[in-house]
Structure 1
Amino acid sequence: MSQPNGADGRRRSLFGRYWASASGFWKGRSARVSWPLTVGLVFVVLSQITVQYQLNYWNRDFFNALERRDAAALWTQAGLFAPLALLSIGLAVGSVWTRMTTQRKWREWLTRHLVVLWVDERRYQRLGSVDGEHQNAEYRISFDARIATDAPIDMANGLLNAVVTALVFINVLWTVGGDFHLRLAGHVVTIHAYLVVAVIAYTLIFTTAMAFVGRKLTPVIQAENQAEAELRAATNEIRELGERVPPAALDVTDLKGVRVALGQVLKRWRDLCWQLMGTTMVSHTDGLLAPVCAWLLCAPKFLAGEMSLGELTQAAAAFVSVQLAFNWFVDNYHRVAEWRSSVNRVATLLHALDDADGLPTRRAIEPDPDRVIRPQRSASPEPGRPRVDDGATKAF
């Protein structure tokens, strides 16, 4: 391998390299599974928001009937709640199935893809001569590939839900809240769609706070994952000593390696703890204040008789829904950071596998995990060991 090839690989976008491989799940034969699951996810999200929208109006009508002490209307609303609740529960269960099935299928595809790249052309034998931070390939294939496929499904599902929810319930805030007239020094100041303005301002404050407090979270998680991989590698070396024939004696340097690796894990875990303390403080404060702010913003109109009890509860619930939608970034900051860390580690391994052939990334071999790999005849197996090429990748 020449040095320019390795340097070129490091300069390339890590996410771009990851997506060039991972997006293959939606191509070829696997597309027959991936696209129906993707469409199903979108359908479930839109159906859930439709039911949530109906429940928001049910909430208004129920509390209006309660304010009027109208028993007949209350029983009518109670009857309407049952089918809405059952539909909501069914969609929630369906959402779990479609989401986790998509994650499972994508992880299967990407793991097979990485393993085939790893063993094809005996790249696993040449990784040691490739420069870069791509150690512990097995950990990246088993652990980081799972995070790199689980997290984006969860986040995409949540982001779609957040965007559609915000669009739907902003309309509720606009129509129910209306304008707010504030008297200042003898003058009347009108704030148009004041609940919409308030929820946007509220979200901007906490999103900015989260971005500032958690700005170092991604590199901290990446360092912690690498430390965990190094500890696993150090302990595996001791296990391999005992599995040799005859068993090899344990050296003091082996135990020292485990001790050093454990020290790094604990240090990185402490750094992660400090980061999560800060992000938890912001997210927990946000969750506590949102419903209180909604009630306080609606209270003046309710006390002035410009808003019924049902409209107050409807607007407050819509405020919280929009706030939760806008706060998708705040609520998922840790997950985004964890996902970025795993994507970077998978992409670093992919770059190393590319460079193992001594070729630039654009000419890297991208085999289809479903294809049959023909056994190689050029290399001879080690004495006493079966060839990894003979039938292993074909069966995989």
Structure 2
Amino acid sequence: MNLLVLTVLQIIIAVMITEWSAALFDALEQHNMAGLQTQIRDLLLIFAASMLVTVLHLKIKRDLQISWRAWLTAHVIGRWMHKGHHYQIAQILTVGHDNPDGRIAEDIRVATDEAVNLSFTLFYCLLLLCSFTQILWTLSGSVILNLGYIQIPIYGHLVWLALLYAALASILGWWAGRPLTLTTNAMQTVEANFRFGLVKARENAKIISANKREAHEKKRFLGLFQDINGIYDLQTRAWEHIILFSSGYAVLSMALPILIAAPRYILGSITLGALMQSVQAFQQMAAALSWPVNNMPVIAQWHASVDRVLGLVDALHDLEQQSLVTDPASDAE
């Protein structure tokens, strides 16, 4: 609950910043020194409030993340180290489940940490969208679409443009980022297999030395790393597509709202402060709508880790069911 309240406070501060920006640019346009001094004072208050809320939000969020991770880790370890499941899972299950140590140590961390991050950034963006849609609608006023014999008034045109812009960006971003989702999942698998191979070699070091199998193990390690190298190249190409899209999107997001709102300022329909507030509201609204695009790599990593944790949990569940079938009396005790 505290985290939700702090997230709402972050939205309030974001709205206050846009209002402060509008007042600042209006004071500059009017050459108003008293207004400028007032905005400097207000900025100090916003600055202090923003720092306090951000720090508290971070602390409470991290407490939630580590608490959830601790609970889930204890739960999975308890099932893994029960009735020989830690041994059976390596002997019975397929290669896809042969590294529970990596899933417990790394995938549970990613699954819990990123679940909290994604949930609250999504909540933040939804609040941001509601707040700045209303602001942008008010600032947009109405424009007349002249079709010759017919003149059509368009209300909230900046809102509709922001929706269209974000929708197109989301479609293009999904198309550009889909290969990254696939390669991220594959990369986590091959990395885990490589790490597990090294752990097994350490555990069997005496046997490897006695049988003089160092050359064989070296070849196996290099083969596992070659799998990483192949996926790494595919992931690099996927990242190139994301970077090309993101860099162009960032430049366009900065320039587009100014170019759209500037004619109304030049015609004298709005003040400089209203222009800058419109630009910021457009950017905030577009940023909120672009949550899926901006978080696509994180979602891909989180989804892959969740799948791996669920795979381990399902495998342990199967072992528990087998134990009930083979030894029902022990469970009854």
Q: Same fold (TM over 0.5)?
A: yes
Higher helix share: 2
Residues 103 and 309 in structure 2, CA contact (< 8 A), matched pair in contact too: yes
Task: For 1:46-195, list aligned pairs within 5 A.
Answer: 46-127=8-89, 128-131=91-94, 133-185=96-148, 187-195=150-158
* 1:148 alignment partner, SS class: helix
* 2:270 alignment partner, SS class: coil
Residues 219 and 341 in structure 1, CA contact (< 8 A), matched pair in contact too: no
Partner of residue 45, structure 1: 7
Partner of residue 357, structure 1: 320
* 1:357 alignment partner, SS class: helix
Residues 140 and 155 in structure 2, CA contact (< 8 A), matched pair in contact too: no
Percent sequence identity is 25
* Number of aligned residues: 327
Shift of 1:180: 1.7
Task: For 1:279-294, list aligned pairs within 5 A.
Answer: 279-294=242-257
Shift of 1:191: 2.0
Partner of residue 264, structure 2: 301
Give me the TM-score of the superposition, normalised by structure 1.
0.78
Give me the TM-score of the superposition, normalised by structure 2.
0.92
Q: 1:169 & 1:97 partners in 2: Cα distance?
A: 27
Residues 241 and 249 in structure 1, CA contact (< 8 A), matched pair in contact too: no
Partner of residue 32, structure 1: none
Kindly provide the amino acid, as one letter, of the partner of residue 310 in structure 1: G
Residues 241 and 250 in structure 1, CA contact (< 8 A), matched pair in contact too: no
Shift of 1:219: 2.7
Q: 2:5 & 2:182 partners in 1: Cα distance?
A: 35
Determine which of 266, 271, 287 is the counterpart of 2:234: 271
Shift of 1:253: 1.7
Give the RMSD, CA atoms, in angstroms.
2.3
1:210 aligns with 2:181: no
In the alignment, structure 1 segments of 5+ residues that lack a partner are 1-38, 365-375, 379-396
Shift of 1:234: 2.1
Shift of 1:166: 0.5
Which stretch of structure 1 is more off in the superposition, 100-109 or 167-176?
100-109
* 1:305 alignment partner, SS class: coil
Kindly provide the amino acid, as one letter, of the partner of residue 114 in structure 2: A
Shift of 1:239: 2.2
1:333 aligns with 2:296: yes
Q: 1:339 & 1:280 partners in 2: Cα distance?
A: 20
In the alignment, structure 2 segments of 5+ residues that lack a partner are 326-330
Residues 180 and 194 in structure 1, CA contact (< 8 A), matched pair in contact too: yes
Kindly provide the amino acid, as one letter, of the partner of residue 146 in structure 1: R
Shift of 1:183: 3.2
* 1:121 alignment partner, SS class: coil
Kindly provide the amino acid, as one letter, of the partner of residue 113 in structure 2: D
Q: 1:293 & 1:320 partners in 2: Cα distance?
A: 9
Change in CA separation of 1:242 and 1:179 when aligned onto 2, cut-off 3 Å: same
Residues 208 and 214 in structure 2, CA contact (< 8 A), matched pair in contact too: no
Kindly provide the amino acid, as one letter, of the partner of residue 299 in structure 2: V
Kindly provide the amino acid, as one letter, of the partner of residue 124 in structure 1: H
* 2:218 alignment partner, SS class: helix
Shift of 1:357: 2.6
